[in-house]
Chain A
Protein backbone atom coordinates (compact mmCIF):
# COMPACT_ATOMS: atom_id res chain seq x y z
CA UNK A 1 0.00 0.00 0.00
CA UNK A 2 1.48 3.37 -0.94
CA UNK A 3 2.30 5.80 1.83
CA UNK A 4 0.93 9.20 0.87
CA UNK A 5 2.92 12.24 1.85
CA UNK A 6 1.75 15.75 1.02
CA UNK A 7 4.47 18.23 0.14
CA UNK A 8 3.57 21.92 0.18
CA UNK A 9 6.39 23.64 -1.69
CA UNK A 10 6.42 26.45 -4.25
CA UNK A 11 9.95 25.89 -5.49
CA UNK A 12 9.89 23.21 -8.22
CA UNK A 13 13.60 22.45 -7.79
CA UNK A 14 13.17 21.76 -4.09
CA UNK A 15 10.04 19.71 -4.75
CA UNK A 16 11.96 17.58 -7.18
CA UNK A 17 14.77 17.04 -4.70
CA UNK A 18 12.32 15.94 -2.02
CA UNK A 19 10.65 13.59 -4.46
CA UNK A 20 13.90 11.98 -5.53
CA UNK A 21 15.30 11.67 -2.03
CA UNK A 22 12.07 10.15 -0.72
CA UNK A 23 11.82 7.73 -3.57
CA UNK A 24 15.39 6.61 -3.00
CA UNK A 25 14.68 6.09 0.70
CA UNK A 26 11.38 4.27 0.24
CA UNK A 27 9.92 3.48 -3.19
CA UNK A 28 6.41 2.89 -1.81
CA UNK A 29 5.97 6.56 -0.89
CA UNK A 30 3.52 8.45 -3.02
CA UNK A 31 4.34 12.12 -2.87
CA UNK A 32 1.52 14.55 -3.60
CA UNK A 33 2.53 18.12 -4.36
CA UNK A 34 0.73 21.40 -3.85
CA UNK A 35 2.40 24.70 -4.76
CA UNK A 36 0.76 27.13 -2.38
CA UNK A 37 -1.24 27.30 0.83
CA UNK A 38 -4.65 27.65 -0.77
CA UNK A 39 -4.04 24.60 -2.93
CA UNK A 40 -2.80 22.65 0.10
CA UNK A 41 -5.99 23.40 2.07
CA UNK A 42 -8.15 22.52 -0.94
CA UNK A 43 -6.31 19.21 -1.17
CA UNK A 44 -6.64 18.44 2.54
CA UNK A 45 -10.32 19.41 2.63
CA UNK A 46 -10.92 17.43 -0.58
CA UNK A 47 -12.61 20.27 -2.35
CA UNK A 48 -12.80 21.22 -6.02
CA UNK A 49 -10.37 19.23 -8.13
CA UNK A 50 -9.27 17.28 -5.05
CA UNK A 51 -12.47 15.47 -4.01
CA UNK A 52 -10.69 12.17 -4.42
CA UNK A 53 -7.45 13.23 -2.77
CA UNK A 54 -6.01 10.74 -0.27
CA UNK A 55 -5.60 11.68 3.36
CA UNK A 56 -1.82 11.99 3.72
CA UNK A 57 0.04 10.19 6.50
CA UNK A 58 2.45 13.09 6.79
CA UNK A 59 2.65 16.71 5.61
CA UNK A 60 5.90 18.48 4.71
CA UNK A 61 5.26 22.21 4.77
CA UNK A 62 7.36 25.08 3.52
CA UNK A 63 6.79 28.39 5.32
CA UNK A 64 7.12 30.99 2.61
CA UNK A 65 4.43 30.24 0.08
CA UNK A 66 2.34 32.31 -2.33
CA UNK A 67 -1.36 33.06 -1.68
CA UNK A 68 -1.47 31.57 1.83
CA UNK A 69 1.77 31.18 3.74
CA UNK A 70 2.84 28.10 5.67
CA UNK A 71 2.06 29.57 9.11
CA UNK A 72 -1.56 30.11 8.08
CA UNK A 73 -1.76 26.58 6.63
CA UNK A 74 -0.28 25.16 9.85
CA UNK A 75 -2.68 27.12 11.99
CA UNK A 76 -5.67 25.91 9.93
CA UNK A 77 -4.56 22.27 9.99
CA UNK A 78 -3.97 22.29 13.74
CA UNK A 79 -7.29 23.92 14.56
CA UNK A 80 -9.30 21.57 12.34
CA UNK A 81 -10.69 18.58 14.27
CA UNK A 82 -10.35 16.20 11.34
CA UNK A 83 -6.91 17.36 10.17
CA UNK A 84 -5.05 18.18 13.39
CA UNK A 85 -3.91 14.60 13.96
CA UNK A 86 -1.90 14.52 10.71
CA UNK A 87 1.76 15.08 11.63
CA UNK A 88 2.97 18.27 9.99
CA UNK A 89 6.68 18.86 9.59
CA UNK A 90 7.91 22.35 8.73
CA UNK A 91 10.67 22.12 6.10
CA UNK A 92 12.18 25.48 5.33
CA UNK A 93 15.38 27.40 4.63
CA UNK A 94 14.53 29.89 7.37
CA UNK A 95 16.54 29.78 10.57
CA UNK A 96 14.84 32.83 12.06
CA UNK A 97 14.08 32.28 15.74
CA UNK A 98 10.66 33.86 15.19
CA UNK A 99 9.78 31.23 12.59
CA UNK A 100 11.01 28.38 14.79
CA UNK A 101 9.16 29.58 17.90
CA UNK A 102 5.99 30.40 16.01
CA UNK A 103 5.93 27.05 14.24
CA UNK A 104 6.13 25.15 17.53
CA UNK A 105 3.54 27.45 19.05
CA UNK A 106 1.22 26.64 16.17
CA UNK A 107 1.83 22.96 16.98
CA UNK A 108 4.09 21.97 14.14
CA UNK A 109 5.17 18.40 14.91
CA UNK A 110 8.72 19.39 14.17
CA UNK A 111 10.84 22.01 12.46
CA UNK A 112 13.49 21.04 9.94
CA UNK A 113 15.90 23.37 8.21
CA UNK A 114 16.62 22.50 4.61
CA UNK A 115 20.34 21.88 4.35
CA UNK A 116 22.10 23.64 1.49
CA UNK A 117 24.29 20.68 0.57
CA UNK A 118 22.62 18.04 -1.54
CA UNK A 119 24.09 15.13 0.38
CA UNK A 120 22.85 16.53 3.69
CA UNK A 121 19.43 17.09 2.16
CA UNK A 122 19.23 13.48 0.99
CA UNK A 123 20.32 12.23 4.38
CA UNK A 124 17.69 14.39 6.09
CA UNK A 125 14.93 12.99 3.87
CA UNK A 126 16.15 9.49 4.65
CA UNK A 127 15.87 10.23 8.38
CA UNK A 128 12.33 11.54 7.90
CA UNK A 129 11.34 8.42 6.00
CA UNK A 130 13.12 6.07 8.42
CA UNK A 131 11.58 7.50 11.54
CA UNK A 132 8.13 8.65 10.51
CA UNK A 133 6.92 6.03 8.12
CA UNK A 134 7.82 2.72 9.74
CA UNK A 135 8.14 3.64 13.41
CA UNK A 136 5.78 6.45 14.14
CA UNK A 137 2.26 5.28 14.86
CA UNK A 138 -0.04 7.41 12.80
CA UNK A 139 -3.80 7.54 13.09
CA UNK A 140 -5.41 5.09 10.68
CA UNK A 141 -6.09 6.89 7.45
CA UNK A 142 -8.43 4.17 6.19
CA UNK A 143 -11.30 5.20 8.40
CA UNK A 144 -11.63 8.54 6.72
CA UNK A 145 -10.27 7.76 3.29
CA UNK A 146 -12.69 7.85 0.40
CA UNK A 147 -13.32 4.49 -1.15
CA UNK A 148 -12.29 4.30 -4.78
Chain B
Protein backbone atom coordinates (compact mmCIF):
# COMPACT_ATOMS: atom_id res chain seq x y z
CA UNK B 1 0.00 0.00 0.00
CA UNK B 2 1.56 3.32 -0.98
CA UNK B 3 2.02 5.95 1.70
CA UNK B 4 1.08 9.40 0.42
CA UNK B 5 3.06 12.20 1.99
CA UNK B 6 2.50 15.86 1.29
CA UNK B 7 5.72 17.84 1.64
CA UNK B 8 5.19 21.58 1.93
CA UNK B 9 8.55 23.15 1.20
CA UNK B 10 9.55 26.23 -0.80
CA UNK B 11 13.20 25.28 -1.20
CA UNK B 12 13.52 23.04 -4.27
CA UNK B 13 16.88 21.65 -3.23
CA UNK B 14 15.58 20.64 0.20
CA UNK B 15 12.48 19.02 -1.34
CA UNK B 16 14.59 17.04 -3.76
CA UNK B 17 17.04 15.92 -1.08
CA UNK B 18 14.24 14.73 1.17
CA UNK B 19 12.59 12.90 -1.72
CA UNK B 20 15.84 11.10 -2.57
CA UNK B 21 16.70 10.12 0.99
CA UNK B 22 13.17 8.96 1.75
CA UNK B 23 12.77 6.93 -1.44
CA UNK B 24 15.98 5.05 -0.68
CA UNK B 25 14.66 4.11 2.75
CA UNK B 26 11.04 3.37 1.93
CA UNK B 27 9.88 2.31 -1.53
CA UNK B 28 6.21 2.66 -0.63
CA UNK B 29 6.35 6.41 -0.17
CA UNK B 30 4.73 8.66 -2.75
CA UNK B 31 5.93 12.18 -2.10
CA UNK B 32 3.80 15.11 -3.27
CA UNK B 33 5.37 18.54 -3.06
CA UNK B 34 3.58 21.87 -2.54
CA UNK B 35 5.91 24.86 -2.74
CA UNK B 36 3.96 27.25 -0.54
CA UNK B 37 1.13 27.28 1.98
CA UNK B 38 -1.58 28.24 -0.49
CA UNK B 39 -0.71 25.34 -2.76
CA UNK B 40 -0.76 22.99 0.23
CA UNK B 41 -4.29 24.06 1.15
CA UNK B 42 -5.39 23.73 -2.48
CA UNK B 43 -3.92 20.20 -2.57
CA UNK B 44 -5.72 19.20 0.63
CA UNK B 45 -9.03 20.58 -0.60
CA UNK B 46 -8.71 19.15 -4.12
CA UNK B 47 -8.81 22.62 -5.64
CA UNK B 48 -7.44 23.89 -8.92
CA UNK B 49 -5.20 21.31 -10.57
CA UNK B 50 -5.43 19.06 -7.50
CA UNK B 51 -8.78 17.47 -8.23
CA UNK B 52 -7.30 13.97 -8.16
CA UNK B 53 -4.94 14.56 -5.25
CA UNK B 54 -4.91 11.79 -2.66
CA UNK B 55 -5.69 12.59 0.95
CA UNK B 56 -2.17 12.37 2.43
CA UNK B 57 -1.37 9.96 5.26
CA UNK B 58 1.08 12.48 6.66
CA UNK B 59 2.10 16.10 6.07
CA UNK B 60 5.69 17.35 6.36
CA UNK B 61 5.53 21.09 6.80
CA UNK B 62 8.19 23.77 6.52
CA UNK B 63 7.48 26.93 8.52
CA UNK B 64 8.98 29.82 6.63
CA UNK B 65 7.42 30.00 3.19
CA UNK B 66 6.08 32.60 0.78
CA UNK B 67 2.36 33.37 0.31
CA UNK B 68 1.14 31.51 3.38
CA UNK B 69 3.56 30.40 6.07
CA UNK B 70 3.59 27.02 7.80
CA UNK B 71 1.94 28.17 11.02
CA UNK B 72 -1.05 29.43 9.05
CA UNK B 73 -1.29 26.12 7.17
CA UNK B 74 -1.09 24.29 10.50
CA UNK B 75 -3.86 26.42 12.00
CA UNK B 76 -6.11 25.87 8.98
CA UNK B 77 -5.62 22.13 8.80
CA UNK B 78 -6.05 21.56 12.53
CA UNK B 79 -9.27 23.57 12.72
CA UNK B 80 -10.80 21.81 9.72
CA UNK B 81 -12.67 18.74 11.02
CA UNK B 82 -12.11 16.83 7.78
CA UNK B 83 -8.35 17.45 7.74
CA UNK B 84 -7.50 17.70 11.45
CA UNK B 85 -6.76 14.00 11.88
CA UNK B 86 -3.89 14.00 9.36
CA UNK B 87 -0.66 14.04 11.37
CA UNK B 88 1.51 17.08 10.66
CA UNK B 89 5.22 16.98 11.28
CA UNK B 90 6.89 20.36 11.25
CA UNK B 91 10.24 19.96 9.49
CA UNK B 92 12.17 23.19 9.52
CA UNK B 93 15.59 24.68 9.89
CA UNK B 94 14.24 26.94 12.64
CA UNK B 95 15.34 26.15 16.19
CA UNK B 96 13.44 29.13 17.58
CA UNK B 97 11.67 28.45 20.86
CA UNK B 98 8.77 30.60 19.66
CA UNK B 99 8.29 28.44 16.58
CA UNK B 100 8.44 25.24 18.65
CA UNK B 101 5.89 26.39 21.25
CA UNK B 102 3.61 27.95 18.65
CA UNK B 103 3.66 24.81 16.51
CA UNK B 104 2.65 22.57 19.41
CA UNK B 105 -0.03 25.02 20.50
CA UNK B 106 -1.48 24.89 17.00
CA UNK B 107 -1.49 21.09 17.40
CA UNK B 108 1.45 20.05 15.28
CA UNK B 109 1.92 16.33 15.92
CA UNK B 110 5.70 16.60 16.03
CA UNK B 111 8.44 19.21 15.52
CA UNK B 112 11.71 18.22 13.88
CA UNK B 113 14.55 20.69 13.38
CA UNK B 114 16.49 19.92 10.21
CA UNK B 115 20.17 19.40 10.88
CA UNK B 116 22.45 21.23 8.43
CA UNK B 117 24.78 18.27 8.06
CA UNK B 118 23.81 15.66 5.41
CA UNK B 119 24.67 12.55 7.48
CA UNK B 120 22.57 13.82 10.37
CA UNK B 121 19.75 14.72 8.02
CA UNK B 122 19.74 11.17 6.62
CA UNK B 123 19.66 9.75 10.11
CA UNK B 124 16.75 12.03 11.01
CA UNK B 125 14.79 10.91 7.94
CA UNK B 126 15.49 7.31 8.92
CA UNK B 127 14.11 7.84 12.44
CA UNK B 128 11.12 9.60 10.96
CA UNK B 129 10.47 6.64 8.68
CA UNK B 130 11.03 4.03 11.40
CA UNK B 131 8.56 5.71 13.66
CA UNK B 132 5.91 7.57 11.69
CA UNK B 133 5.73 5.36 8.61
CA UNK B 134 6.30 2.04 10.32
CA UNK B 135 4.97 2.06 13.87
CA UNK B 136 2.32 4.73 14.16
CA UNK B 137 -1.26 3.62 13.62
CA UNK B 138 -2.84 5.99 11.13
CA UNK B 139 -6.55 5.95 10.52
CA UNK B 140 -7.75 2.69 9.01
CA UNK B 141 -10.49 4.35 6.95
CA UNK B 142 -7.80 6.18 5.13
CA UNK B 143 -5.70 3.05 4.67
CA UNK B 144 -8.68 1.17 3.29
CA UNK B 145 -9.53 4.04 0.97
CA UNK B 146 -5.92 4.13 -0.22
CA UNK B 147 -6.02 0.44 -1.10
CA UNK B 148 -9.02 0.79 -3.39
Contacts and interface: CB of A to CB of B under 8 A. Distances in A.
Partners in one complex: yes
Interface of A: 78, 81, 84-87, 95, 97, 100-101, 104-105, 107, 109-113, 124, 127-128, 130-132, 135-140
A40 B4 CA distance: 36
B107 A107 contact: yes
A137 B87 contact: no
Contacts, number: 85
Interface stretch (B20-28, B31-39, B64-72, B124-132): B124-132
A139 B137 contact: no
Given A101-B85, A105-B84, A107-B107, A127 B130 contact: yes
B30 interface: no
- Name which of B105, B113, B132, B139 has the most chain A CB atoms within 10 A of its CB: B139
Contacts of A128: 131
Q: Which 6 A-B pairs have the closest CB atoms?
A: A85-B104, A104-B85, A131-B131, A131-B127, A137-B111, A111-B137
Q: How large is the interface on B (under 10, 10 to 19, 20 to 34, 35 or more residues)?
A: 20 to 34
A85 B99 CA distance: 12
B68 to A, nearest CB: 22
Interface in B65-98: 78, 81, 84-85, 87, 95, 97
Interface of B: 78, 81, 84-85, 87, 95, 97, 100-101, 104-105, 107, 109-113, 124, 127-128, 130-132, 134-141
Contacts of A137: 95, 100, 111-113
B124 A101 contact: no
A84 B95 CA distance: 20
A95 B137 contact: yes
| Chain A residues touching B, majority SS | mixed
B110 A109 contact: yes
Nearest to B131: A131
A117 to B, nearest CB: 14
A131 B140 CA distance: 23
A97 B85 CA distance: 12
Given A84-B105, A110-B136, A127-B130, A104 B111 contact: no
Given A97-B140, A105-B84, A124 B135 contact: yes
Contacts of A136: 110-112
Given A111-B138, A131-B127, 14 more contacts: A78-B107, A104-B139, A110-B109, A113-B137, A124-B135, A130-B130, A131-B130, A131-B131, A135-B124, A135-B128, A137-B111, A137-B112, A139-B97, A139-B104
A112 B136 contact: yes
- Name which of B87, B111, B130, B138 has the most chain A CB atoms within 10 A of its CB: B111
A97 B113 CA distance: 32
B112 to A, nearest CB: 6
